[in-house]
Every structure is written in structure tokens, then in C-alpha cells.
Structure 1
Amino acid sequence: MLQDISGMKVIVLDSHTVSIVSVVYSQSELLQKEVFLVELVDSITMSKEPMSHLKAVYFLRPTSENIQHMRRQLATPRFGEYHLFFSNMLKDTQLHNLADSDEHEVVQQVQEFYSDFVAVDAYHFTFNMISNHMYMLPAVVDPSSLQQFCDRAVDGIAAIFLALKRRPIIRYSRTSDVSKRIAQEALKLMYQKESGLFDFRRAEVSPLLLIVDRRDDPVTPLLNQWTYQAMVHELIGIQDNKVDVGYIGKFPKDQQEVVLSSEQDAFFKANMYDNFGDIGMNIKKMVDDFQQVSKSNQSIQTIEDMARFVDNYPEYRKMHGNVSKHVTLVTEMSRIVEERKLMLVSQTEQELACNGGQGAAFEAVTNLLNNDSVSDIDRLRLVMLYALRYEKDSPVQLMQLFNKLASRSPKYKPGLVQFLLKQAGVDKRTGDLYGNRDLLNYALNMARGLKGVENVYTQHQPLLFQTMESIVKGRLRDVDYPYVGNHFQQARPQEVVIFIVGGTTYEEARSIALMNSTNPGIRFILGGTAVLNSKRFLKDLEEAQRIARSSTGLV
């Protein structure tokens, strides 16, 4: 968009496209393309002075609100030229409305650029959906909000495949009504309504779109994380590859937000999937390297030395910024780990997620509930993990833990653990979350246990990992993941998009990257309605519980 339009530009975005752009473009890159102003479409007021020397590049989602904003702004144009780009398919009526409003004939072009998703990483995208709790509610509770939720998911999925220039075969998680609905609507869009748009040159084997439900694996978003990217999101929070560090109080005003992007930070790219112990060692090495560079800069003896330093100064400043960023993040995470006794908590979490032994688990969870150093959120997560694992085995002990949690952490809404079991208990899930059903899995888990665990804190593997292994081996069960329409896959797909309704985690993104690096013949892409950490998952759960209660009059 920007390189084809020469001259001084203003770029106008909406609340969605600002995220889409921010993860792939830095401000300095925008400046290089002669973008001197970035505005939000709903905050451009008509009273501002005209800027006819600027060309306006609009990049918006094709929503009815945005079309209304555009119509008003075209009626009294402030800029010399208008170049309109939409992140997804425009309706004919929207196009006619825009044409009617362009009385001053300032619009130079209108184009669809299929990018209606936030590209978090090379294999990971999100839609940043605010109403992410909707997938947990039955359709009868709020049909119109659920329809909006599904429409947004279908729009985003369509944009992904238009960007990839592919039309997929679609499968979904059998036990999830919302996955089935999104799968059916995506099929209708790609094979009927807009089949011409998706009529790309056929690949020998069609790619696979697999739509699954977060509730099939509620364990992954409840666990503490110990690999770098996932840990930063769990303990501090990442939004559109940016981390808010203002509260730490060590950064100047203009650096309250730091960028954590594998595209823009070589150290992060090399270490984002490493565990916390290794990160500490690698940061120490980075600090040592930086000190060497600093020392050599101190010995400026001649004009040539000075010239060399000035040439290298931007690189030196960048290195300095990077070192201080990673040192601050790791120092802050170490403080939180110590304060919340997370090494103690996490050991029990991993045992609950990966190993049997109900008696020992009950004792460990009880001890942690009684420990004053353990925070309320960690107590809640421990009881949830125990409940998901042993819901059928020990109702009496489960009740004891519910009562203990209520007395120790009264701020959590009563019944939240029971609501989780209702949503994502064993009877509701597709797939084999704990590897109990499949004897081969059981044997593999035994072998892993006997070999000695490489790191007790990163034993857990998300259900997604098993799902990918099944796809690679051509063993994804039709009964668990049915096809929609009369489109079936004859051979193993070479491209697979796995979309998680309810949100992805960075632990799953790591599994995708590892699977792609070890299976060169097949490429996996992961996407979801949001990117979760335990806080966000619990917030969605609480919101769904609140709406479910008010709709049944139980408040």
C-alpha cells in the first residue's frame, strides 16, 4: 500500500487494523515510507484544518461503522487524495455507498487487501476478539452476539486463506457446537457465496482447516509457563508483540512499552522458546558481550576512532536498549516467581497435568491452599487442575478442596470451578487430554517418565501436539473430527491451519514451531480468537458464568 503511493502520506486505521499494522511495521519503517501522521478513523474530526498536501491511505475493516465514518469524511475531504484499502471482502452495497459519497472525486482507488488478522509470528495469528467468552455460552442465551462472534471468526479465517491463496478441506471438533457452526459457515462462504474468489490453482492435496474448541484442552491456559515468550505473557502480559513495563518504574517516559518481536529482535528470536534457566545464562552472555563493546568504545584515541564510534552508534544504542529490555523483563519475572512461590506451585501443576497419583495430588494441593505465600489466583488454578484431572475419581475430596478454596480465597466467585467442569469436563471434550484412552500414548508417557524428565517445569505438552502428530501420521479420527460438506482428504495435507475457538496460548505456538522444524514436508499454522494467559482464560470463564447465571435467573 505504502510503497505504491509516492509522496507525503497520512495513514488512517481503525482499532483492529492498528494492531494488524503494528505487529509488522515499526514507526521508523513508516517514516521511511513518508508516513508523517497516523490517525484513527473515529477520531478524525471534520473541524480540523485541511491538509491537501497529504495523501490519505485508509486501511480499515469493512464494517458498517467504518463505511459510515468514510462517507462522512469523503463528504468534506481534508486530504488531497484518498486511497482506500479494506482488510477483507467489501459488499457491493458498501462500494456503492462509498461511490455515492465521493462527490468531490478525491478517491483514487479502492482495494481489498486480505489481512484481517494479527500476524503475531510466522506461524501464529489472532483476531484479538474482545467478546472471547461467547464460545462458552449456548446459542439461546444471546443469539445475536454469538452470531457476531461466529461471523468475525469466519471473516478472519476467509482472509487467512485468501492471503495464502488456498481453499481448504474443513474439519471440526465433534463435541463443539460453535466449532461446527463456524466450520459450516466457512464452507458456505468459500464453496458457495464467494467460490469465485477462492478458485485458486488446485494443489495436489488440498490444505486442511481444523477448527477446534479451547474447552477440549482447558489445562494448557491454566498452567504457569517456563519458556521465555509464554512466561512473559503469563506473568507480565503481551499485547500485539508489545509489553507494558511502565509499572516497573525503571524506564523513561518514552519507553513504557517494549517490543518483543522475533522479526525485530534477534536475541528474542533465538531464545523465545528456551526455558527460564537457559534464558538467564544467555542474557548474562549478552551483557558480557555488550560490556566488551562498551569498553572498546571507551578507548577513543584518534579522530578515526571517533568516526568509527559515530558510525556504529545507532547499532550500539540498539544493543544497549536490547540488553536493558531483556535484563529488566527477566529481573521482573524472577521477582514475581519468588514472590508467588511459583516454582513450588508449578511443580504440583505439572504433576496434575502429566502424571497420575490422586492421593499425592490431593495432599500437595491441600498443602498449597494452606500456604500463605501462595496467591489467590494460583490457589484457584490448582483446584481447577485437580478438578479437571480427578472429577470422576474423588467427589468427596473435590468437595473438600472447593470448601477450602472458598475459605482461603473468598474473592473468587463460588461455583467457578464447577462451571469450568460443566464447560470442559471429561464428558464435553473431544480428543484424549490426559492420554488415557490410547494404550500407545500410555506406554509413551511411561517411557518418558522412566527416562527421567529433562525439566520438571516443562513436562506438559498441549493436546494440540497430539493432534498434530495424528495429522502427520494420517491418524486423525473422522469420528472425533468430522469433515463438513462432501469434501474429504485422500492424502496427508502439506498445509494445515489449526484454529482454536476461544484462543491460543504461546505454549501451543511453541509446539507449532517445533513441529514445523522437525517435519519439513508439512507446514502448520496456528490461529485463534485471542491469545490467552491464565488471567484472560479465567476472565472469560467468569464473564460466561455471569451471563449464564443472569440468563437463567440464578443471580
Structure 2
Amino acid sequence: MVLISAVRDYINRMLQDISGMKVLILDSHTVSIVSVGYSQSELLQKEVFLVELVDSIYKSKEPMSHLKAVYFLRPTSENIQHLRQQLASPRFGEYHLFFSNILKDTQIHNLADADEQEVVQQIQEFYADFVAIDPYHFTLNMPSNHIYMLPAVVDPSNSQHFCDRVVDGIASIFLALKRRPIIRYQRNSDIAKRIAQETAKLMYQQESGLFDFRRMEVSPLLLVIDRRDDPVTPLLNQWTYQAMVHELIGIQDNKVDLRNIGKLPKDQQEVVLSSEQDAFFKANMYENFGDIGMNIKRLVDEFQQISKSNQSIQTIEDMAKFVDKYPEYRKMHGNVSKHVTLVTEMSKIVEERKLMLVSETEQELACNGGQVAAFEAVTNLLNNESVSDIDRLRLVMLYALRYEKESPVQLMQLFNKLASRSAKYKPGLVQFVLKQAGVDKRTGDLFGNRDLLNIARNMARGLKGVENVYTQHQPLLFQTMESISKGRLRDVDYPYVGNHFQQGRPQEVVIFIVGGTTYEESRSVALQNASNSGIRFILGGSVVLNSKRFLKDLEEAQRIARSSTAVI
């Protein structure tokens, strides 16, 4: 609940203290923040009768002096400019201005100068500059996510903008939690180091007064790491509910767009998947696909029983009882339909793309050794007409990441085979992922080949077998959390920023992945938090990845790298 509660608390404070009819004015970032934290019906209960975007609100000249304008915006120069224009000829009776992060003094002066008619009632900073998609998982929804793969010299302006946005997002998390952390970063990542250092500068120098919270016995930890340390997790097919929906259909701000999957009723063309608003989803979001099917069948059976009981309406009293229950009945009907639709659609995709076959080989590549068998399995799948282009590409990438040093000849054979079989194959993309995230660039022991404990664990797992061959993979993040829990995160790999060191084991840890998180990793965090280890982990990233988005970022970075003279 921690992140969602923080955002909801800010929105409540924004809306409940302003009486009367209101218009809520947002920007492209804060619209995501609010839509994930608050439902439309809740906004109506707070007398919000209109929601508009700040860059389009002044296109209408119609005065609405009976409405009070509540602005919730990121403190960007563009938003300040929009506000200045709107305050110059105000349409609303009152203006209440809330910003999702730290305002500069110059911005406050600019707004004061523009408020000639004195319609602004208040200006406040409410630190909700992140999208809280789950209680312990947040994203910054950064559109130009590929920037993290490029050296700063390639595109200095966008690189700085990327870093500034990440620093802002991390700062707002700690302001919302009322904490100032000790900061560590992944040593071999220039961008992780830069973000960690700029965050420390903001918290300990530029805005030290703002972060001067009550000291804890052991300070919280902020760990900044690079997606390229684990390129395997975003390349894998997923078989637990939330992660699978994102991989096969896509989730954006806890909404799933189903308009392209055939004729559905209008109210099912976009559905909400939120652990806060859907009890069935909350109970099943981390369950595997086989169990989900059985659980949905139970949900359908339960609904049918209720439907039958509702069919026996004999008297006025029966009718009155049904009408009383009708909103809950409708809600349950919508919920059952939603989950049946999602599972049916995913089953179709799994069958069409032969994903059970593909995924078994992916998991073998990610979790077990055996180069000869792996080469044969990948070759067979490349020759299989039912396997899609994107699945062929992912298989060759996974093989390359696993065996780049062991089998250069076979790797070249797979490159050639991929190029001949796949019309959409982008030349050099597999080589580019090796340049970005190959074994020489990674800090962690991604495949458990170097660490004796991991080797023993893999051997034991191989002997015992695993409960489900499709979900045997554990992200590298799992090992990182284990290392933190046991006080074994190596200083040489994850140095501290400045002279601030951790004394003892932290009880609160925020791990930020530059380049994006996955729902498989957020599941690991939720399970770790449920294990009562005494440490609360929060996971954040620049975006939420699936394989499609990860490959798109790789392609975009490769395109820019090729057109640049810089050496990547």
C-alpha cells in the first residue's frame, strides 16, 4: 500500500479542502499519476466534474467562473508557460496550483507576476512525481527510454534531460516517504553513477533542508542499477498473470487496451487491472497461467450460482433485494467477463505462436547449461514455420548472451539463419545487445556461472527438478535483494556516493533500474516483502518493459549509435 497510499493521500488533500464544483487540470505525466491512484467515480465524489489537459484547456474561451480550477502539474518550463498564459485571461473563479515536485524560486516569481487578477488561491508542492502501479512498484513512464544505452557525448541535451527526470522521480519518492537515503550505484554503469551522484547532490547539498527528516537508526538505502546488467529478464516470455498480460497484450498505467482483439462490448474495450480495485486480480496476479485458468473457472461458477439465484425473482421483495445488490452484481459480471476475455485471448496467442515450445527453450537458455543441446533447440525453432519473427530474434539473443564466449562459430551460424528466416530481422541487433550487455559489461553473475553458491543452487535445482519448467527463471534482482538482506552487497561492485556509508542492515530499500523494470521483477519484490525478512523493498524504473519495448529501445539506440561517430 505504501506508494499508492502516498499518492492517494496527496490527491485527497488536493481535492477535499476545496469545496464546490471543480475542474482538475493535468499534464501528460500527472494524468497517469492520478488515473492509477484514483478512479473516475472517486473524482466525482470529490465534486470534480471536468478533467482537462493543461496544453488544451485555453483553446476554449468560454468562461466558467462557477468552477474552481485545481491544477496538478510537473514543474516544467512548458507547464509554467501554459499557466502564465491561462492566468493572463482567467476562465475560472479560483486557481489552486499543485506541483508534483520541487519548484524553483524563479518559477514561483513568474507565476506571481502573471497573476495580475489575483485568482491564485494557493501554490503547493505535493511530491507524487511517479506512477504507483503497485504498492511496491513505480515507474516514471519515460518515452525516450533508449537514451540510457548511449554515452552522454552522443546526445548531451537528451542525456541530461533523461538524468534530470530520473533524479526528480527518485527525489519525489523519498520526499513522499519522508526519508533521506544512503546512496549506492552499479560501478560499471556510467549512467547509474551519474544519476546516483546527482541525486546525492540534490539531497545532501542543494535541497538538504527539504530532506532533513528525523534520523533513523539505520538510514534507508537507494541502489541505482542498470538494466543492461540483466538483459535476459525482459527478453523472456512470462507465465504469471500480470507479467503475461503485459508481455502478450500490454499494460499501460494499469489499463489493458483490447480494441484490436475482435468485437467486444464497449465497456470491455479497455479494462483496468489494478490490485487495489480488483480482488480477484490481487489474489491471482502472481499465479502461473495453469492455476489462473482453474481460478477463473471457479469465479465463473460462483457468478453462475449468483445469476441463477437472481433469476428466481418472484415477489416485489425479491426485486428490491436484487436492485440493492445490482451494482455489486454488475461489478462482478464485468470482472468475470474481463478475466475470461484476457485468458481466452492469451491462450489464442500462446497456441498461434507455439509459445510453450519457445518458452521451454528460453528457460533452458536462461537457467541451465548445455551449449550443444541449446544450439540444436534454437536451430529447430528457427526452422519452425509457426515461430514468429520476434520469438526467433529473442531466442538468438538469449543464446548469444549465454554462449557468446563459448561458441562463436555456432553463433555466426544462428545469425545467418535468423537473417534468412526472418524478414523483420534488423542486421546487427544481436551483436548490438552483446556490445551493450555482454559478459564483459555486466557486474552481476547473471547465469550463476562464477559464484560457487549459485553453481551449487543450480545443480540442486537440476537434480530435484522444478515445479514448473516455464517459471524456473529468477531475475538477477532476486540475488541482489538476497545480498542486501544478508549484508553481502559488495562495495567494490556497488560503491557508496560520497562519505555516507551504511551502518548495519537497512530496513527500507529503494532499487531503481535505469532502463526499466519488469513485472517478473516486481513479483520478486512482492514475494520478498511477504517473506518477513525485516526489509521492505520498493522497485522503480524509467519504464515498465516487456520484450517488445526492450527490443524497440535497442533498435532506437542502435539507429542513433550508427548515425553517430561516437564509439558505443
* TM range, smaller chain: over 0.9
**Residue of structure 2 aligned with 1:485, choices 491, 498, 501:** 498
Equivalent position SS for 2:496 = coil
Cross-structure match for 2:398: 385
- The CA deviation string for residues 452-493 of structure 1, in whole angstroms up to 9 with x for no partner, is 110000000000000000000000011110101101101000
Q: Deviations over 1:96-150 (max 9, x none)?
A: 0000000010000000000000001000000000000000001110011100000
Kept in 2, the 8 Å contact 1:209–1:498? The answer is: yes
1:295 paired residue number: 308
- AA paired with 2:464? K
Cα distance in 2, alignment partners of residues 552 and 236 from structure 1: 37
Match of 2:234 in 1: 221
CA distance in 2: counterparts of 1:350 and 1:322, whole angstroms: 32
Please tell me whether the aligned partners of residues 268 and 338 of structure 2 are also in contact (alpha carbons under 8 angstroms). no
Corresponding residue for 1:349? 362
SS in structure 2 opposite 1:37? strand
Deviation at 1:237, TM superposition (A): 0.1
Looking at structure 1, the residues matched to 78 and 432 of structure 2 have their Cα atoms a distance apart, in angstroms, of 36
Residue from 111, 120, 129 that aligns with 1:98: 111
Q: Which string of whole-angstrom CA distances, capped at 9 and with x for unpartnered residues, describes residues 401-452 of structure 1?
A: 0000000013221000000000000000111101111101111111122111
Matched residue, 1:440? 453
User: Deviation of residue 394 (structure 1)?
Assistant: 0.4
Q: Which residue of 2 aligns with 1:58?
A: 71
Does structure 1 retain, via aligned residues, the 8 Å contact 2:154–2:566? no
Match of 1:470 in 2: 483
**Pair 1:172 & 2:200 matched:** no
Deviation per CA, 1:515-536, whole angstroms, max 9, x where unpaired? 0000341100000000000000
Alignment of 1:14-413 (within 5 A): 14-413=27-426
Structure 2: distance between partners of 1:408 and 1:345 = 16
Structure 2 length normalisation: TM-score?
A: 0.97
Structure 1 residue 553: deviation in Å?
9.1
Q: Does the alignment pair 1:458 with 2:461?
A: no
Where has structure 1 moved over 3 Å in runs of 4 or more? none
CA shift digits 1:55-89 (9 cap, x unpaired): 00000000000000000000000000000000000
- Which one-letter code corresponds to 2:353 in the other structure? R
Structure 2 residue 516 is matched with structure 1 residue 514: no
**Structure 1 residue 552 displacement after superposition:** 2.5
Give 1:548's aligned amino acid.
Answer: A
Taking the aligned partners of 1:267 and 1:456, their CA distance within structure 2 comes to 25
Q: Deviations over 1:210-258 (max 9, x none)?
A: 0000000000000000000000000000000000011123422343210
Deviations 1:149-175 (A, max 9, x none): 000000000000000000000000011
Q: Deviations over 1:336-391 (max 9, x none)?
A: 00000000000000000000000000000000000000000000000000000000
- Between the aligned partners of 1:468 and 1:388, the Cα distance in structure 2 is 23
Distance 2:382 2:355 in 1: 13
Does residue 1:418 correspond to 2:418, yes or no?
no
Q: Runs of 5+ in structure 1 lacking a partner?
A: none
Q: Distance in 1 between matches of 2:401 and 2:162?
A: 27
Secondary structure (helix, strand or coil) at the match of 1:54 reads: strand
SS in structure 2 at match of 1:55: strand
CA distance in 2, matches of 1:100, 1:514: 51
After superposition, what is the alpha-carbon deviation per residue over 1:23-64, rounded to whole angstroms, capped at 9, x for unaligned?
Answer: 011111110110000000000125421000000000000000
CA distance in 2, matches of 1:203, 1:37: 43
Give the match's secondary structure for 1:97.
helix
Query: Greater CA deviation, 254-263 or 321-330?
Result: 254-263
2:6 aligns with none
Q: CA deviation at 1:334?
A: 0.1
Task: Tell me which residue corresponds to 2:8.
Answer: none
Matching residue of 1:551: 564
SS of 1:248's partner is: coil
Paired residue secondary structure (1:23): helix
* Residues 220, 506 of structure 2: 8 Å contact kept: yes
How far apart in 1 are the matches of 2:530 and 2:88?
52
Question: Do the aligned partners of 2:485 and 2:533 also contact (CA within 8 Å) in 1?
Answer: no
- Aligned equivalents of 2:392 and 2:419: distance in 1? 10
Residues 153, 566 of structure 2: 8 Å contact kept: no
1:496 equivalent in structure 2: 509
CA distance in 2, matches of 1:112, 1:493: 28
CA separation of 1:497 and 1:409: change in aligned 2, threshold 3 A: same
Please give the alpha-carbon distance, in whole angstroms, between the structure 2 residues aligned to 1:335 and 1:48.
Answer: 50
Q: Is the 8 A contact 1:46 1:76 kept in 2?
A: no
Higher mean displacement: 444-453 or 489-498: 444-453
Out of 509, 514, 538, the position equivalent to 2:551 is 538
Partners of 1:400 and 1:255 lie apart in 2 by 46
Secondary structure of residue in 1 paired with 2:260: helix
Q: Distance in 2 between matches of 1:105 and 1:387?
A: 64
The farther-off stretch of 145-154 and 431-440 is 431-440
- Structure 2 distance, partners of 1:47, 1:522, is 51
Gaps of 5+ in 2: 1-13
Report the Cα distance in structure 2 between the residues aligned to 1:53 and 1:337, rounded to whole angstroms. 54
Cα deviation, residue 298, structure 1: 0.2
* Equivalent pair of 2:145/2:542 in contact (CA under 8 Å): yes
Amino acid corresponding to residue 153 of structure 2 in structure 1:
V
Q: TM-score, normalization: structure 1? A: 0.99
What is the CA–CA distance in structure 1 between the aligned matches of 2:564 and 2:464, rounded to whole Å?
A: 51
Q: Cα distance 1:520–1:308, how it changes in 2: closer, same or farther (>3 A)?
A: farther
